[in-house]
Amino acid sequence: MAHGPAKGFTRWLYTTNHKDIGSMYLWFSFAMFFLGGMFALVIRAELFQPGLQIVEPNFFNQMTTMHGLVMVFGAVMPAFVGLANWMVPLMIGAPDMALPRMNNWSFWILPFAFAMLSSTLFMQGGAPNFGWTFYAPLSTTYAPPSVTFFIFAIHIMGASSIMGAINIIATILNMRAPGMTLMKMPLFVWTWLITAFLLIAVMPVLAGVVTMMLMDIHFGTSFFDAAGGGDPVLFQHVFWFFGHPEVYIMILPAFGIVSAIIPTFARKPLFGYASMVYATAAIAILSFVVWAHHMFTVGMPIAGELFFMWATMLISVPTGVKVFNWVATMFKGSMTFETPMLFSIAFVILFTIGGFSGLMLAIAPADFQYHDTYFVVAHFHYVLVPGAIFSITAGVYYWLPKWCGNMYNETMGKIHFWLAFIGLNVTFFPMHFSGLAGMPRRIPDYNLMFADWNMISSVGAFLFGAAQVVFLYNVIATIVSGKKATDEVWDNPEGLEWTVASPAPYHTFAEPPEVK
C-alpha cells in the first residue's frame, strides 16, 4: 500500500508529500534566517559606535530593508507554513494536505523569489534602500532601478503565501478525521485556520500596492504622486491595511505552538480552550481596523486618530486573555523545563513585555514621541523575536523527535536557549532607552549620547547570532546522530501526532484514526 519516497534530487523537486514539503519550507526558512541575521549584524556592526566605519549610508539603508524583508517574508512566514505542512495533517488525522500539487508549487516558487530579491544586492544602484515598509515616493520616484525586481519578488512571495493559505484552509475544513470537530482541533490548527484567512484577505492588498508602485514607476500613473493628483499617504493606508494583519499572521500560529507546548510540560490541560479560540478570532478581526496606528503622525483628522487609538488599545483585551490563560495553565501544574518549555515561557514573558510597549505606542499623543524611534524597534523586535522566532524554535525542539525519530541533546538545547535569551534582551532592551532618549530608527550614525546603549545592543546581537549557530549544530547533530526517541517523546502529551511512530512514517493516517 504505502510506498516510500523517490530517490535522489527529484524526490524533493517533484514531491507532493506534506512532510517533505514541510521539511523544505523549514530548511529554507532556516537559511533565510541566517541570511537576514547577517544583514542585521552588518547593521549592528556599523552602529557599534558613532561615526561611519564599515558601510556607506546608502548600503546601510539596503541592509535595513533587506533584513526586514528577508526576516518577514523569508524566515518567519515560511517557517510557520512549514510547521503547518508537517503538523496540520498529523494533528487532524489527515493523510496529507488537500492540494498536494499546489503545495509543491507554493514552496518551489519561493527560492526563486528570494534569489531575485537577493540578486538586487549586486545590481547597479544597489538593492532596495527604502525600508521594508517601502513608503512612496522614496520607493517610486526616488528608488534605485532594482525596485522592479523587488516588486516582482513580492508578487511571487504573495502568490506562494496565498496558495499555502488556500491549501491549509482546504485541508482543515475537509480532511479532518471522523470525530475531529472544530472545537476539538488543537489550538495550532485553529490559529493557522484563522491566519490562513488573514493571508487570503491581505496578501492581494500587498500585491495591489506594489502593482500601483509599478504603474507609477513605469507607466506614468500618479497613485502616490501629489503632483499628478495622487497622495503619498494613500500608499501608507494601503500598505498598513496589509501590514497590520501581517503582524498577526506572524504571531497567531505562534500562539498555537505555545498552547501545545505549555500544557505538555505543565502536565495539565490547556486552560480556557474555547476562550483561546474566541480570543484568536477577536484579534484577527480587530487587526483589520487598527492599521492607521502606524501612521499617527501623517496628519489624520482627530476623529481618525481617536478611533485608531481606541481600537488599538482594545486589541490588548483578547491578547491579555491569552496570556492569562497560559499562566493559568501553568498554575498548579507539575512543570518540567525542557528546551521547548523554556522557549515557550520566555515567549510568554517577553511577548508580554512587547505587548506593554505596544500598549504605550497605542496612546496617540505619546506616540508622537515614540514614532519612528528605537522605542518602536525595541517594541516590534520584542514581539517578533520572542514571539515568532522563539515559538518556532520551541516548536522545532518539540516536534523534531517526531520528524526525524531522534532526540535532540538537552544540554545543548539549554545552552542555545540561555544564549539566545540573554542575547535577545541585551540587544533589544537597551533600544527602549535609546529610543526614549530620542534616537530615530534607520540612521547609520548618531550623536554620542546614544553611544553606550548602541554598543550594548551590538554586543547582544552578536551573542544572539552565535546562539543560532548552536541551534543549527544541534538540529543537524540530532538528525545525524541523535539518540532514538520514543513514539510519545514527551510525558503523556496530547494530540494525534504522538500516536504515530517516531520518525513519522512517510505516509500517515492512510486509515483515519479514531477521535474520541
Partner 1 sequence: MLKTARGLCAWMLGFMCLLVASSALAEEAERWKFNMTPGVTPVSQDVYGLHMQMFWWCVGIGVVVFGVMFVSMFLHRKSRGVKPANFHESTWLELLWTAIPFVILILMGIPASKSLIELYDTEKSEVDVLITGYQWRWKYEILGEDVSFFSNLSTPRDQIEGHAEKSANYLLEVDEPLVLPVGKKIRFLVTASDVIHNWWVPAFAVKRDAIPGFINDSWAKIEEPGIYRGQCAELCGKDHGFMPIVVDVRSEADYRAWLDEKKAAAAALAELTEKTFTFDELYAKGEEIYNRSCAACHLADGEGVPGVFPALKGSPVAVGPIDHHIDVVVNGVAGTAMQAFGEQLSEVDIAAVVTYERNAWGNNMGDLAQPLDIYNHKQGK
Name which of residues 247 to 286 contact partner 1 (CB under 8 A).
Answer: 266-275
Q: What crossing angle do the helices spanning 77-92 and 252-266 adopt, rounded to 10°? A: 50
By CB under 8 A, tell whether 124 contacts partner 1: yes
By CB under 8 A, tell whether 135 contacts partner 1: yes
Region from 50-58, 251-259, 471-479, 507-515 binding partner 1, contact rule CB under 8 A: 50-58
Grid cell locating 496: 494525534
* Active-site residue (options: 44, 176, 294, 371): 294
Q: Assess whether 246 carries a catalytic annotation.
A: yes
By CB under 8 A, tell whether 448 contacts partner 1: yes
| 124 burial type by CB count under 10 A (0-12 exposed, 13-18 middle, 19+ buried) | exposed
Rounded to whole angstroms, the Cα distance separating 214 from 62 reads 19
Q: Assess whether 160 carries a catalytic annotation.
A: yes
- CB count within 10 Å of CB 511 equals 10
By CB under 8 A, tell whether 137 contacts partner 1: yes
* Active-site residue (options: 414, 441, 442, 507): 441
The residue within the footprint of partner 1, chosen from 299, 480, 481, 516 (CB under 8 A), is: 299
Instruction: Kindly state the smallest distance separating residue 369's Cβ from partner 1, in Å.
Output: 6
Instruction: Kindly state the smallest distance separating residue 180's Cβ from partner 1, in Å.
Output: 19
Which residues between 311 and 330 bind partner 1 (CB under 8 A)?
313-314, 316-317, 320-321, 323-324, 327-330
Residue 136 vs residues 123, 152, 225, 232: alpha-carbon distances, Å? 21, 17, 8, 6
- Nearer of residues 240 and 453 to partner 1, judged by Cβ: 453
Checking phi first, is residue 481 left (phi over 0); if not, alpha (psi -120 to 50) or beta?
Answer: alpha
By CB under 8 A, tell whether 129 contacts partner 1: yes
Rounded to whole angstroms, the Cα distance separating 81 from 79 reads 5
The residue within the footprint of partner 1, chosen from 5, 51, 178, 179 (CB under 8 A), is: 51
Residue 449 vs residues 201, 249, 375, 377, 459: alpha-carbon distances, Å? 44, 37, 16, 18, 18
By CB under 8 A, tell whether 499 contacts partner 1: no
Contact letters for partner 1, residues 343-382 (x by CB under 8 A): --x--xx--xx--xx-xx--xxxx-xx-xxx---------
Instruction: Kindly state the smallest distance separating residue 319's Cβ from partner 1, in Å.
Output: 9
Rounded to whole angstroms, the Cα distance separating 455 from 357 reads 22
Identify which of 502, 496, 491, 486 has the alpha carbon closest to the alpha carbon of residue 516. Answer: 496
Rounded to whole angstroms, the Cα distance separating 130 from 167 reads 33
By CB under 8 A, tell whether 443 contacts partner 1: yes
Which residues between 74 and 103 bind partner 1 (CB under 8 A)?
none
By CB under 8 A, tell whether 227 contacts partner 1: yes
Which residues between 461 and 480 bind partner 1 (CB under 8 A)?
none
By CB under 8 A, tell whether 119 contacts partner 1: no
By CB under 8 A, tell whether 122 contacts partner 1: no
Write the single-letter amino acid at 136: A
Instruction: Kindly state the smallest distance separating residue 256's Cβ from partner 1, in Å.
Output: 17
- Nearer of residues 62 and 478 to partner 1, judged by Cβ: 62
Q: Assess whether 12 carries a catalytic annotation.
A: no
Rounded to whole angstroms, the Cα distance separating 206 from 425 reads 32
Q: Assess whether 357 carries a catalytic annotation.
A: no
* Active-site residue (options: 18, 44, 293, 379): 293
The residue within the footprint of partner 1, chosen from 95, 111, 208, 438 (CB under 8 A), is: 438
The string of DSSP letters for 392-457 reads: HHHHHHHHHHHHHSEE--HHHHHHHHHHHHHHHHHHHHHHHHHHHTTPBSS-S---GGGHHHHHHH
By CB under 8 A, tell whether 389 contacts partner 1: no
Measured in whole angstroms, the distance separating CA 313 from the mean position of its chain's CA atoms is 22
Which residues between 230 and 249 bind partner 1 (CB under 8 A)?
231-233
Q: Assess whether 25 carries a catalytic annotation.
A: no
- Bridge partner residues of 484 (DSSP): 406
Contact 177, 509 (CB under 8 A): yes
Which active-site residues does the annotation give? 67, 96, 132, 160-161, 244, 246, 248, 259, 293-294, 319, 322, 441
